[in-house]
Structure 1
């Protein structure tokens, strides 16, 4: 019944969106990968009504990126809510950090994320307590716990933007769904399913540990203890994801899969490219397209990895006698000592730059990129699916290996393991991706259709408006469903684990005790 009520309310909002002027406050990390999905919803939200407004609250150091993300959106503004910095995370830190196993980096980021939210909690609560109050809050997943507290203190409806690749805590702990951090395929064998289930149970234990400082903060703010196993059950959860790339799975009524969330950008035909770049790009078009390599805004490769990429991309460009263009976006500081891109002998097909005078989306929209060598950041993957190109995934940390696994499962490209892949493996992966390009583009066209059917930023904005207009609909909307899914998954595989271990114990007992052939006894009359 509650699910039906949610659907009826959503239809009402679609039919007559935002009868009252709504002012939404968006809470974001100061990084483009976090800002772009929120900016997409902001564009659509102000489009529902000419009276709607959005304030993007972010860190002072992220104001430039925020302005870039919301460019052209009317009645959307960026405001800093804290001067808190990230001085501990300099370039040298990331050069060392990316060499660690992905699971270790995920744990580290989780710990630092808790510490960050605690440090900025007072600033977040103060920002949302300012008058006039916001009608609804949309929080990036990186600030979800402190955003929930701010929403409860100010009695403001809250929605959460949560990428499905991260897997919602305590939702559908079906061991057939790969858990965050393991980078497993959806087609994992039974023993990996057992490992996956054990890891999900361990994750539940870690949630209790993670919740301790937040519970202390809630007590300080005079708030009751939260439900650790289902922290988002009373709030709208918007997932910027598309089924077919993200894993289809049962979702609770308060979870809205909205498809790919990308802010509108200038059409490629309206983008001015200077003559030097235009000449190079036109020459590459005649050679069959570009292999584009970019490890993201936080990707700082150690010198040995830079040399490995240098060799692999050189082999890619010259394998066909210099008939393949390679464009590598790499910070200028890391370009020292390059061989392939520094010897000046193949400048007509090889180019390295620390800054592009245009967005990579322009190259994608113009179909100039054949293969994208990427760290598999969410935004990079969805942008590429939006326009089309095959992937070579080279994940560096956190959830990136899981997104690379989703890309490989969807047959959109190849995923490599940073701990074992060298220049030969990277070169071979690019060659494989080039051969997959045509099929990958067809599959991406299907994913784009699915994403459009999911509603994308328009549906996310309508759901957000519904939350503002009918806040009580989300209260306990899916409590029974969340609890039931958790219990079903736990009981089902607990029984399976018992059967497996019982079978192993029976076999060992037979081998050790009953299976040995007794030696014949000597007898005499």
Structure 2
């Protein structure tokens, strides 16, 4: 019997793989990766999560519960520049400029990350069978290449991966609806091509300089998009269905099973359970994220709407806000505490609140994780995007008819918010709930974290077989890649098609006109 147990242990050890998770140190980026970590652990694989020093406490708190996972410190990284003043500046920008600004700091972080990651792996003598790289920590792919280890990159949406530039697919940062006017399509097409030019002359040199710092060979601008296996929590119907290369794997909800099993009343503190159970008129949940710093004026506009639902409609409001915001919402603090809950930290997972049958509407900044959790729990949304790609996600929510999107700068935001919440609770609710039901079913059918873990295992064991999954079109000459040859040929063809008949028509008309002029002249003579 002992021999049999020993043999089983040896077989399990032989089949066990070790994955390295390289994460951008922010909660919204960590959560979907943790779902994959948990699923991989249940398959008997070990996982090492890498992050900077300031992120270690969060990492160890979240990862410590998994028996086959650990956190590795990459050392000190200075985050002092990301203070309240900087984040307030970012929030007041339009989506595209804020994306550019954030990209500058992302490049700085990735310049730190690559050599720190390589040094940590060598220092700890860690052997990895595969790197799972968050899109915000893209320089992890450079270290993987230097170590000749397979990689998988996790992206939140598929908008970044069209097979070709398509003016019908909204470009990242434009916040456009899928239903665009002719002028919007032209603008969208322009943005897509400017983005490609920027990738060629700005992004590609930065990436290759960072790659050189760890001894990795240079790559082109398409490397992160078309030459890596990609996992995304996309759900088509929320995300935009489009032709994709086979390296992109939409897996649906990336949520932890352990979190799902926590959706029971026993995990909610008694006072919160009593509060939510008593909210028979519905709960409006407001959470604008923990990173962005909203101007006081915007906070007061949201406060006015929150107070309205408590005082006028006798509905409950749970508002998770930052400490500095809590200090200025005096009207909300003085509102009926049996209906209004203001908190800087929920003592349970937000998904527990969204899963409660009385949850009616979720007011959110349209962070990826927040939107997917709301869809999974079938709670309609009202989005107020603050920066970067949040505006794109808000647009997807509105297109899918599972919520409404509002302008953060609107001077009438308070009234707009009241109207939007009311609509999602009444007129628009039946359509939203029907759509949410289908999206939830599809999200689970795509396989989620378990399928993602299976993909990790397959790529780690059979990396060579996945070379056929990449799009060969990116290797075309530049004039073919951007359809310049087709555009020119079409232009010449149209010119010939219309101009030659015009010349013939003109020649015929002119000949007849000249003959008529001669005849008239002869008659006069």
Which TM bucket (shorter chain)? Answer: 0.7 to 0.9
Give the equivalent residue in structure 2 for 1:512: none
Structure 2 residue runs without a partner (length 5+): 1-10, 500-525
Taking structure 1 as reference, are residues 482 and 244 closer, same or farther at Cα in structure 2, changes over 3 Å only? farther
Give the equivalent residue in structure 2 for 1:516: none
Taking structure 1 as reference, are residues 232 and 343 closer, same or farther at Cα in structure 2, changes over 3 Å only? closer
Deviates more, 1:490-499 or 1:80-89: 490-499
- Residue among 95, 106, 113 paired with 1:102: 95
The DSSP-based 3-state class of the residue aligned with 2:216 is: coil
Superposed CA offset, 1:220-271 (max 9, x none)? 4443321223444332111121111111111112111111211121432253
Superposed CA offset, 1:298-356 (max 9, x none)? 13211111111111222233333xx2111111123212232431224x22222211121
Give the equivalent residue in structure 2 for 1:55: 48
Give the equivalent residue in structure 1 for 2:278: 283
Q: Which has the higher contact order (CA 8 A, sep 6+)?
A: 1
The DSSP-based 3-state class of the residue aligned with 1:327 is: strand
Aligned counterparts of 2:170 and 2:485: Cα–Cα separation in 1: 17
Aligned counterparts of 2:316 and 2:477: Cα–Cα separation in 1: 50
Taking structure 1 as reference, are residues 455 and 484 closer, same or farther at Cα in structure 2, changes over 3 Å only? farther
1:238 aligns with 2:231: yes
- Residue among 359, 382, 396 paired with 1:406: 396
- 1:76-155 equivalences in 2 (<5 Å): 76-129=69-122, 130-144=124-138, 146-155=139-148
Shift of 1:17: 11
- Residue among 376, 383, 405 paired with 1:386: 376
Give the equivalent residue in structure 1 for 2:363: 373
TM-score, normalisation: structure 2: 0.85
- Computing the radius of gyration from Cα coordinates, the structure with the larger value is 2
Give the equivalent residue in structure 1 for 2:6: none
Q: Is the 8 A contact 2:286 2:318 kept in 1?
A: yes
Superposed CA offset, 1:10-45 (max 9, x none)? xxxxxx999721000000122111111111111111
Give the equivalent residue in structure 1 for 2:322: 331
Q: Is the 8 A contact 1:101 1:419 kept in 2?
A: no
Superposed CA offset, 1:60-110 (max 9, x none)? 222233234436433122222232131111123222321122221111011
Q: Is the 8 A contact 1:33 1:378 kept in 2?
A: yes
Aligned counterparts of 2:36 and 2:489: Cα–Cα separation in 1: 43
Aligned counterparts of 2:296 and 2:267: Cα–Cα separation in 1: 34
TM-score, normalisation: structure 1: 0.85
Give the equivalent residue in structure 1 for 2:438: 446
- 1:342-357 equivalences in 2 (<5 Å): 342-344=333-335, 346-357=336-347
Taking structure 1 as reference, are residues 28 and 290 closer, same or farther at Cα in structure 2, changes over 3 Å only? same
Q: Is the 8 A contact 1:389 1:437 kept in 2?
A: no
Give the equivalent residue in structure 1 for 2:422: 431
Taking structure 1 as reference, are residues 260 and 485 closer, same or farther at Cα in structure 2, changes over 3 Å only? farther
Aligned counterparts of 2:265 and 2:120: Cα–Cα separation in 1: 38
Taking structure 1 as reference, are residues 261 and 494 closer, same or farther at Cα in structure 2, changes over 3 Å only? farther
Give the equivalent residue in structure 1 for 2:453: 461
Give the equivalent residue in structure 2 for 1:293: 286
Structure 1 residue runs without a partner (length 5+): 1-15, 507-525
Give the equivalent residue in structure 1 for 2:331: 340
Shift of 1:497: 11
Superposed CA offset, 1:435-485 (max 9, x none)? 233432321221122122221111111111111101112336424244579
Aligned counterparts of 1:283 and 1:56: Cα–Cα separation in 2: 41
Taking structure 1 as reference, are residues 231 and 273 closer, same or farther at Cα in structure 2, changes over 3 Å only? closer
Q: Is the 8 A contact 2:318 2:342 kept in 1?
A: yes
Aligned counterparts of 1:485 and 1:255: Cα–Cα separation in 2: 23
Q: Is the 8 A contact 1:165 1:180 kept in 2?
A: no
Give the equivalent residue in structure 1 for 2:515: none
Aligned counterparts of 2:116 and 2:340: Cα–Cα separation in 1: 47
Deviates more, 1:468-477 or 1:427-436: 468-477
Deviates more, 1:378-387 or 1:209-218: 209-218
Superposed CA offset, 1:386-429 (max 9, x none)? 11111000000010000000000110010012132521112111
1:318 aligns with 2:308: no
1:75 aligns with 2:65: no
Aligned counterparts of 2:160 and 2:51: Cα–Cα separation in 1: 24
Aligned counterparts of 1:308 and 1:140: Cα–Cα separation in 2: 35
Q: Is the 8 A contact 1:239 1:256 kept in 2?
A: yes
Deviates more, 1:374-383 or 1:269-278: 269-278
Taking structure 1 as reference, are residues 295 and 23 closer, same or farther at Cα in structure 2, changes over 3 Å only? same
Give the equivalent residue in structure 1 for 2:406: 416
Q: Is the 8 A contact 2:150 2:463 kept in 1?
A: yes
**Structural RMSD (CA):** 3.1
Give the equivalent residue in structure 1 for 2:188: 196
Aligned counterparts of 2:12 and 2:429: Cα–Cα separation in 1: 41
The DSSP-based 3-state class of the residue aligned with 2:332 is: coil
Shift of 1:495: 6.6
Aligned counterparts of 1:270 and 1:445: Cα–Cα separation in 2: 23
Give the equivalent residue in structure 2 for 1:395: 385
Give the equivalent residue in structure 2 for 1:253: 246
Aligned counterparts of 1:165 and 1:299: Cα–Cα separation in 2: 24
